[in-house]
Amino acid sequence: MKLSFKEKVYKVAHDIPKGKVATYGQLACLVGNKKAARAVGLFMKNNSDRSVVPCHRVVAANGALTGYSFGRGSATKKKMLEKEGVIFKGQKVDLSKSQWKKIV
């Protein structure tokens, strides 16, 4: 059975480990469409099962905490990421230390 683009995105996002983040663009590239970062963002926004797809671990290309709709939005996302050990520089994730490097 062939997975849809959305299902592929959710499958890859599921693998982001605690303490790491991926960018919307990174996920788009990993599933084969480097121009689909906005679609990935929409999928994360509409994620119906945060226990399966850790959408809080997906951030903007510059490390900004954008588009989180659970709890108190970005404040909740930051608390969750800090609890998991993600490193921040101010309000943005320090991608040099906390970006997930998926081994293919």
Region 71-88 average pLDDT: 91
User: How many angstroms separate the Cα of 34 from the Cα of each of 40, 42, 74, 75, 79?
Assistant: 10, 15, 25, 28, 29
Instruction: Identify which has the larger pLDDT, 49 or 99.
Output: 99
Q: Does any domain span residue 102?
A: no
Here the CATH number for the domain that contains residue 87 is 1.10.10.10
CB 29 within 8 A of CB 104: no
Q: Give the per-residue pLDDT at 104.
A: 58
Q: Give the per-residue pLDDT at 74.
A: 86
Q: Does any domain span residue 50?
A: yes
The tally of domains found in the chain comes to: 1
- In sequence order, the β-bridge partners of residue 99 are 21
Residues with a known catalytic role: 55
Q: Does any domain span residue 101?
A: no
pLDDT digits 0-9 by tens, 36-70: 999 999 999 998 888 899 999 999 999 999 877 67
Region 80-95 average pLDDT: 96
Residue 11 CA to residue 69 CA, distance in Å, equals 20
Token pair belonging to 15: 């693998």
Q: Does any domain span residue 49?
A: yes
Q: Give the per-residue pLDDT at 103.
A: 65
Task: For residue 36, report the phi and psi dihedrals to the nearest 5 degrees.
Answer: -105, 30
Task: Tell whether the model's pLDDT for residue 101 goes beyond 80.
Answer: yes
Q: Which residue in 96, 86, 89, 90 sits closest to 58, CA to CA?
A: 86
Q: Does any domain span residue 15?
A: yes
Write out the residue range of the structural domain in which residue 71 sits.
Answer: 5-96
Q: Does any domain span residue 104?
A: no
Q: Cβ neighbours of residue 52 under 8 Å, at least 6 residues apart? A: 10, 14
